[in-house]
Structure 1
Amino acid sequence: MTLAPAPAFAQAPKKEPVDCEQVKCIALTFDDGPGKYAGTLLDTLKKYDAKATFFLEGQYVKSRPQYVKRMVAEGHELGNHSYSHPDFTKSEAWTIRSEIQKTQDAVKKAAGVEPKLLRPPYGMADLQVSDIAAEFGMPMILWTAGSQDWSTKNVDAIQKQTLAVAKPNSIILMHDWVKQTVDGMPSLIKTLQNKGYHLVTVSDVVKKENLEPGDIFPVPEGWEK
C-alpha cells in the first residue's frame, strides 16, 4: 500500500525584516474573514507589496480555505478570531476553548499552520479569557484605532477615518467582508506608502513589546492581570 504524500503548503520567500523602531510602520488587520472579497484584497496587497494580519473566524475558514492558503503563501499573518464570534466574556470556559481550538484546526487544515495570535470577538476579554489564551500560547491583540468600515460602508469615509488615525506602529481594525474597504484599498495603500509607511504584520509592530502568552495589547484602560 502506497501512502499519498502530505499536501505541500508553499510560503512566500522570506524578506528582510522591517525594523519598526527605525522606520514608520502600520499594521492593517482584517477581522471576521476570510470574507467573500478576500481574493481581491489579496491581489491588491500583492500588487503593492503590502503585508497584513487576518484574524479569521473558523466558520469562514472552513467555507473559504483557498483564501487562507493564499494568505500564508503570500506572507501575511494569521490570527484566531474564534469560530462563530461569541462574546468570550459572556461564555463558559469550555466554549472559549472550543471556539479557539476549532479555528486552530480549521486553519491548519486549510493552510498547514496554526495562528499564534488571538483577537477575542468584539475585543472583549477578561482574566478567564487571558488564562485560556495563555493555555494556547497566544497573546491577545486588540487595535489602536478602527476604520469604522463596518458602520460607514463608504470608500471615502473609510479612507478619511483610517488616515486620520494612522500613526507609526498603529494597529488598524478593518474587515474584508466590507466591499467598500476592499474597493478603496489601492488608494489607501498608495497614500500610506506615499506618507512613508511600511505596511507590515502585527507581529512586526509589537515585536518590541515582548508579549507573553495571555498578555493583551494594547492594554485596555483598567486592565489588571
Structure 2
Amino acid sequence: MTRPVDAAPTTPVPRPAHTTDCTRAKCIALTFDDGPGPFTSAILDALEKAKARASFFMIGSAITTDPGIVRRMAAAGMGVGNHTWSHPQVTALTPDQVTGEITRQSSAVAAATGHEPFAVRPPYGAFTRSTPHAGLPFVLWDVDTEDWKNLDPTRTTQRALSGAHPGAIVLMHDIHPSTAKALPGIIAALQKQGYTLVTVDELLPGMDPSGSYYSAG
C-alpha cells in the first residue's frame, strides 16, 4: 500500500554525515533525473559498490510507486532532490502551479524519508528569473551525457569523461538501461583520475535557496 504523500514515516531515515572537503579534494557530482525507475536499484548498486555518492532528482508521481528505493538512497547518503511532481515545463505554468509541482514532490520525499529534498532541478533545465523556487535552490548541470538521446553506453561514457572537470555537475537519467550499463565504467574511470564522487550539496554546501547552480566553478 502506497503511503500518502503528506504523511512522514514513523522513523526518519538516518543520513550519513558527509566529510569530503571539496575545496581540497577533486570532486565531481553525478546526477540522475526522472526516476525512480526499474534501473535505479542497479545504479545504486554500482554507486554503493564503489563507495561513491550521487544525487537523484526524482519525479514525485514515481516516488509514490516505490518509496522504499528513495529510503535506500537517503540511507546510503545519496542526494535526494526534487524534479517536480509530474515533469512539466515550468515556464508554461503559472507561479502557483509551479509552486504546487515543487511542494507536492517535496511532500512525497518527506513521506518516504522524513526529510525534505535538498534542491530542485526544473524539468528540461527550463526556468526564468521569475520562476518560483518554493524555498529550494535550483541545480542544473554543466556536463550533459545526452544519455536520453544516444541510449548507448559507450557514447554516454565518452561524453561523461570528456566533459569531466573538478566541480562539474554531470547529467544522466536513471530510467535507461544503457545508463545503468555505462555507470560502473564511468565511476571506475573517474576514480582512477583521482575524482571523489559526491552529492551536489556536498559539492556546493550552503546553497542560497533562491540561487541557481550549474557547477562549483
Normalising to structure 2: TM-score of the pair?
0.91
Whole-angstrom CA distance in 2 between matches of 1:12 and 1:80? 17
Matches within 5 A, 1:69-80: 69-80=71-82
The alpha-carbon deviation at position 44 of structure 1 amounts to 1.0
Q: After TM superposition, what 4+ stretches of structure 1 lie above 6 angstroms from structure 2?
A: none
2:34 is aligned to 32
- Alignment gaps of 5+ in structure 2: 1-8
1:183 equivalent in alignment to 2:185: no
1:218 equivalent in alignment to 2:214: yes
Instruction: Supply the AA of the counterpart residue of 2:204.
Output: V
Distance 1:175 1:46, change over 3 A: same
**Contact 2:40-2:175 at 8 Å conserved across structures:** yes
**Contact 1:11-1:74 at 8 Å conserved across structures:** no
1:163 is aligned to 161
- Alignment gaps of 5+ in structure 1: 1-5, 220-225
CA deviation string 1:58-114 (max 9, x = no partner): 011111211101000111111111011111111111210110111011111111111
Instruction: Supply the AA of the counterpart residue of 2:59.
Output: E
* Matched residue SS, 2:188: helix
**Contact 2:82-2:120 at 8 Å conserved across structures:** yes
CA deviation string 1:120-177 (max 9, x = no partner): 1111111221xx21xx321111001111100111111110110000000100000000
1:47 is aligned to 49
1:199 is aligned to 197
1:8 equivalent in alignment to 2:11: yes
Matches within 5 A, 1:57-76: 57-76=59-78
Number of residue pairs aligned between Structure 1 and Structure 2: 207
**Contact 1:25-1:205 at 8 Å conserved across structures:** yes
Instruction: Supply the AA of the counterpart residue of 1:11.
Output: P
2:3 is aligned to none
Whole-angstrom CA distance in 1 between matches of 2:201 and 2:118? 10
Q: Compute the RMSD of aligned alpha carbons.
A: 1.4
1:223 is aligned to none
* Matched residue SS, 1:127: coil
**Contact 1:52-1:201 at 8 Å conserved across structures:** yes
Whole-angstrom CA distance in 1 between matches of 2:50 and 2:56? 17
**Contact 2:169-2:214 at 8 Å conserved across structures:** no
Whole-angstrom CA distance in 2 between matches of 1:108 and 1:137? 15
What is the aligned-residue identity percentage? 37
Question: Which of structures 1 and 2 has the bigger CA Rg?
Answer: 1
